Structure 1
Amino acid sequence: MSKVLLSEIEKEYEVPFQKRNIVIKTNEKPTQTYDIMEEIGKGKFGTVYKCKEKKTNQWLACKQIDILSPQIRKETENEIDIMKSLQHRRLLQLYDAYDYGKTMVLILELITGGELFERVIDDEFDLTERSCVLFMRQICEGVEFMHSLNILHLDLKPENILCITQTGNQIKIIDFGLARRIEGSKDIKVMFGTPEFVAPEVINYDKIGKGTDLWSIGIITYVLLSGLSPFMGQNEAETLSNVTKLEWDFEDESFDEISENAKNFISKLLLKDQKKRMTASECLKHPWLTMTQAEKLLSKGNLKKFVVRRKWNKAKNAFLALKRMGAHIK
């Protein structure tokens, strides 16, 4: 059975390569420098392949993005600009970038462990409150670094938390396509995100801030411990309504064995006023993220159902996106 060891998590994980001065290449293609291998993932606007740098034999990931509109180009350029700053062991690293018209390519650190939630629902993994603590601590470390640079992630959700390897227990935060820089006193408002994880200020189109990411951390914690989504409604509109009404609780029996420290941690994040939410640095000092006990196994039945539902919704949304783009689907 898999055991999450504190010493393994705390062991320093160095970034896989030295900081690089990345300039988007426009006069060459990645195939001149990299051998592009098999497909390892597919998203809304592009595909990810495994690749190897010819000169060093280093294994990496090649993310090819189809530039279907000026907006997609702008978002991709923003993602590259943001990632240049994110040199931290808890954040996915950028290695190279290309732009040749209708396609932009990001060469990235290769992550092979799969999604965190997929990992913990495996029958061979012992999910305990302590293991949840160790995973959430790593997430907070990554967010703390981003926030120290005044960068917001704005799309923290289970799909964007990956395990570095299939056997280790260190994680990486990925997907900075929606990330934004906070520029001085300028108000930033956005209208995007995933309904189950989005903060009230996003729904209300109010000013966002670092607390917007901390709300999402609270949701991820709640789901990881219980397998339940605190604001999930019968449809997207009901979910968003539940978020704005702040209708959630710990009444389900899934929380009967969960510590008061864990509940307090969540309660200090799922606050309507983002200024009252804990910061990432305060999270790391919270008693729950310093606990070393709580080895009792947690039930994973709800969490397995949650993962299956998210997969189904992802497939459904991809299907609808293709339909909107005019694809002929039988």
Structure 2
Amino acid sequence: MENFLQDKDLWIVGSVCLVASILWRRFWNLFTYKRKRDSSPESASIDIQFREKDGSDKSKVYQKGSKTQKKKKPLDASDLFQAGFEEVQNQQNNQLSQSTAAHLDLIEEEQEVDKYREGKDGKQQAAVEEEAKEQEIVSELFQIKEEDKKEEENRLKKEEALWLSEVNQLAALNSSDRTDGSITVTPESCEENLEIIFSTKRHVTDETLPDELKKSRVEEDKELKEEEVAGLEAAEVGPERTEEKRKNAEPVIDEYVIDSSPPPPAPFEHRLVTTKTHQITSYYTINKEEVLGGGRFGMVHKCVEKSSGLVLAAKIIKARSQKEKEVVKCEIEVMNQLNHDNLIQLYAAFESRHEIILVMEYVDGGELFDRIIDENYKLTELDTVLFIRQISEGLQYMHKMYILHLDLKPENILCVSRQTNKVKIIDFGLARRYKPREKLRVNFGTPEFLAPEVINYEFVSFPTDMWSLGVITYMLLSGLSPFLGEDDNETLNNILACQWSFEEAEFVDISEEAKDFISRLLVKSKSWRMSASQSLKHPWLSDRALHYHLRHKKNKCHSSHAPPSEG
């Protein structure tokens, strides 16, 4: 028994020594491994690979087959002893690994808490910075406001000083019997000072004012009262009677407002017309005996719509070939785009085998050309102003719609009636749509009214119509054609040379404004001509004082007969 106890003690002592040696060995291996890992760059790079994107460590996972496994042998007594110690060692290792894992979890939690605190601190810092910026902006605004306030106060002080100096000067001049000779105003506070500056009348006590200033103040008060009474009367009576009273009280003797109202519109709404193949006689009665006009295109007759009794004009155009019909359809397309009181309106269109008939608005005042050549008609300069203004308004609308007339002449301008000076532009057979990117050239028109760029076969545009307007103005004022020669060749050469003048006797009594108007249109270079909008703003067409002068002039353009009454 004693031997057994001795053997047991020896066994315990031996096992303790063995365990101590094993632990020392493991500790030494761990120590050497840590030193190698810290000193080796490769281990550092490997360690980096096992870190997550957020900076936390991952558990190291090694590839399979990285270490070879040895075959197991049958255990003997020493091996059993070794196995017992290995179980103890494994239990200790498990406890150590569990404590290590718990420790790592605590470290990760602390790191997450630190990150959260850092993010929170960053947001708080950004909020603090934004608040500091806002405070800086507010302080700058207050500073600017204070500076503006100081400037305003300085300005008010200067105005007050100037006013006081003026009052002192007036008092010194007008009150020689007074000893002080000056007036001082001492407002009790800054608020009173501001009230003095911003009031419509200066607030000065009657005791300090001189007599003349008192009188002027009484007169001002009286005038203000009269104005207030007049305003109340105007409000009670109404704007119309007030205007009449103003006109009766203060008659305008140096201005005249011309009748710039548009001519009466067509008796039907604007419509988009397409050609019909039906017989026109089924819908309209055409009076071929009554001819309203004619030209190279055909004839215009008076017609009546059977269903409504509406009086219209039928323009019969000879069109045998398909090309000729396309030209007429181009005129229809242009008229579909034009809706203006100074432009004739299209009502319907009919197509047959050899002709196309356009049914249009009817006016019975005759051509403007008839008034130019009629010696029994008194055409004054003011009448010409009315005509040219309406033509300019029609051209302004056409050019806004990007359409060129290209055949503007007195024959293509109709008077609405023989009693008024209202006109409408007609005949859009040569009109073209202007496209800036597509340069347009034409080789047609009436020689007397052709612009230089048409004769030279150059690009045409809006100023081409304005040249024709200048020729029409010249003819209305003088009854003469500025470029007309013995034949067409001479006429075209005169246009290219831009040879014209105001030396004829017919221009002796014509105003300088009218001559300037023509001079700004009959310019060889199209880029220097007035546009339609600019012509309407020219003094000859817009100056009321000039119109008043023209209305009372006794001269006539080129005849000496009584004018018709204006409607």
TM band (smaller chain): 0.7 to 0.9
Q: CA deviation at 1:128?
A: 1.2
For 2:266, give the aligned amino acid: V
For 1:187, give the aligned amino acid: K
Which of residues 435, 449, 456 in structure 2 aligns to 1:197?
449
Partner of 2:279: 29
Partner of 2:514: 262
SS of residue in 2 equivalent to 1:196: helix
List alignment gaps of at least 5 residues for structure 1. Answer: 303-330
Quick check: 1:297 aligned with 2:555?
yes
Partner of 1:89: 341
Query: Which TM-score applies when normalising by structure 1?
Result: 0.85
Please give the residue correspondences for 1:98-113 in structure 2 after superposition, counting only pairs within 5 Å: 98-113=350-365
Q: CA deviation at 1:262?
A: 0.6
In structure 2, C-alpha distance between the alignment counterparts of 1:123 and 1:228, rounded to whole Å: 13
How well do the aligned residues superpose, as a CA RMSD in angstroms? 1.9
Which of residues 304, 307, 316 in structure 2 aligns to 1:55?
307
Which of residues 51, 59, 78 in structure 1 aligns to 2:330?
78
For 1:30, give the aligned amino acid: I
List alignment gaps of at least 5 residues for structure 2. Answer: 1-255, 561-567
More off after superposition, 116-125 vs 80-89: 116-125
Cα deviation code 1:115-135 (max 9, x no counterpart): 113135545543211111011
Residues 15 and 87 of structure 1 are in contact (CA less than 8 Å); yes or no, is this contact kept in structure 2? no
For 1:10, give the aligned amino acid: S
In structure 2, C-alpha distance between the alignment counterparts of 1:19 and 1:155, rounded to whole Å: 23
SS of residue in 2 equivalent to 1:233: coil
Please give the residue correspondences for 1:133-148 in structure 2 after superposition, counting only pairs within 5 Å: 133-148=385-400
Residues 126 and 297 of structure 1 are in contact (CA less than 8 Å); yes or no, is this contact kept in structure 2? no
Partner of 1:215: 467
SS of residue in 1 equivalent to 2:313: strand
Partner of 1:46: 298
Q: CA deviation at 1:298?
A: 1.8
* Identical amino acids, percent of aligned pairs: 48
Quick check: 1:17 aligned with 2:268?
yes
SS of residue in 2 equivalent to 1:52: strand
- Structure with the higher helix share, 1 or 2: 2
SS of residue in 1 equivalent to 2:436: coil
Answer with 1 or 2: which has the greater Rg.
2
In structure 2, C-alpha distance between the alignment counterparts of 1:124 and 1:227, rounded to whole Å: 13
SS of residue in 1 equivalent to 2:314: strand
For 2:448, give the aligned amino acid: E
Which of residues 476, 491, 508 in structure 2 aligns to 1:224?
476
Residues 154 and 212 of structure 1 are in contact (CA less than 8 Å); yes or no, is this contact kept in structure 2? yes
SS of residue in 2 equivalent to 1:19: coil
SS of residue in 2 equivalent to 1:205: coil
For 2:265, give the aligned amino acid: E
Please give the residue correspondences for 1:159-178 in structure 2 after superposition, counting only pairs within 5 Å: 159-178=411-430
In structure 1, C-alpha distance between the alignment counterparts of 2:309 and 2:257, rounded to whole Å: 32
Residues 379 and 559 of structure 2 are in contact (CA less than 8 Å); yes or no, is this contact kept in structure 1? no
Residues 378 and 559 of structure 2 are in contact (CA less than 8 Å); yes or no, is this contact kept in structure 1? no
For 1:46, give the aligned amino acid: G
Query: Which TM-score applies when normalising by structure 2?
Result: 0.50
Partner of 2:224: none
Residues 189 and 202 of structure 1 are in contact (CA less than 8 Å); yes or no, is this contact kept in structure 2? yes
For 2:508, give the aligned amino acid: D
Residues 157 and 220 of structure 1 are in contact (CA less than 8 Å); yes or no, is this contact kept in structure 2? yes
In structure 2, C-alpha distance between the alignment counterparts of 1:132 and 1:165, rounded to whole Å: 16
- Structure with the higher strand share, 1 or 2: 1
For 2:555, give the aligned amino acid: L
In structure 2, C-alpha distance between the alignment counterparts of 1:94 and 1:283, rounded to whole Å: 28
Cα deviation code 1:84-143 (max 9, x no counterpart): 111111111100011122111100101211111313554554321111101100000111
In structure 2, C-alpha distance between the alignment counterparts of 1:183 and 1:258, rounded to whole Å: 39
Cα deviation code 1:144-173 (max 9, x no counterpart): 111010000000011111101122221011
For 2:463, give the aligned amino acid: G
